[in-house]
Amino acid sequence: MPSYCVPTATHHSFSLKDRPFARFQASPSRVRMACAVSCNHTTESGSLSLSTAGPIEAVLFDVDGTLCDSDPLHFEAFRDLLQKIGFQGGVPIDEEFFIKNISGGHNEDIIGILFPDWDHQKALQFMDDKEVLFRRLAKEKLVPVNGLHKLCKWIEDKGLRRAAVTNAPRPNAELMISSLGLSEFFEYLIIGGECERAKPYPDPYLKALKCLGVSPERAIVLEDSAAGIKAGVAAGVPVIGITTRNPDQLLLDAGASLLIKDFEDPKLWSALEEQEATKACC
């Protein structure tokens, strides 16, 4: 596959390089506290801080499970089609099986787990059928993760760069982003299958950083799966784990610096404000 940056907008790729960064107006005491956080790497509550990343210039979003709680739709599609072909003797897969073997994975890797003895073209056809079913379900049921548009507005107001980085096939990713009204929000859409290696390897996130012209220590990643978190960490970027579906410990073990329930979580906004406040003392 060619290795190039693909803007999400069909007609143009807009740039925020000329937009001035908005500054968080911190009180002197808030600035002193943030400087201490930068040195200690923890907040007063003991949570890991994003201040270790330096001033943030870019936010990199996963798509499935991060922008939207799409895992239940993937689970439904896999469960129904696998049952139809008699997988596990016709016993439907459960959520534990889905989380362990499928969630966050690239289709080529999933094929190797589910159908190790199948002809490759037959396995690819199954995955194509599954994606068609998923897109039909997504058109009917897809909703954003709570607080998503609030966070996107904050990112726009701060003049931060942004990219979507996903293992989803391009038609799925474009459908989800479009359905959420974010086609013009993202500067780039990076597809794992169009990189040399997909997540959990760092290649998709490294490609996004290269497209944006941002160093790893000046970015943060938002992810919901262990595979995605491992990819962000391997790329050298601090990762915020979103506990939409996967167990907290699984995400922590993968290397998440902070766990949040959704984009309304006070821990997220506290960390972002602390990170912004460090600019005033650096």
Residue closest to 53 by CA, chosen among 209, 163, 218, 231: 218
> Which member of 18, 62, 119, 248 is catalytic?
62
Choice among 18, 64, 157, 248 that is catalytic: 64
- Mapping DSSP onto H, E and C, the string for 117-153 reads CCCHHHHHHHHHHHHHHHHHHHHHHCCECCCHHHHHH
Question: Token pair 């159908």 is at which residue?
Answer: 115
Indicate if 62 belongs to the active site: yes
> Is-catalytic flag, 117?
no
Q: In degrees, to the nearest 5, what angle opens at C-alpha 222 toward C-alphas 37 and 198?
A: 130
Cis check: omega of the bond before 28, within 30 degrees of 0: no
Q: How far apart are the first and last CA of the chain?
A: 42
| Number of Cβ within a 10 Å radius of residue 32 | 13
Give the amino acid at 26. A
**Alpha helices per DSSP H over 18-164:** 28-40, 71-84, 95-101, 107-114, 120-141, 148-158
Separation of alpha carbons 131 and 103, rounded Å: 14
* Residue pair 60/220 in contact by the 8 Å Cβ criterion: yes
CA distance 2 to 226: 26
Catalytic residues: 62, 64
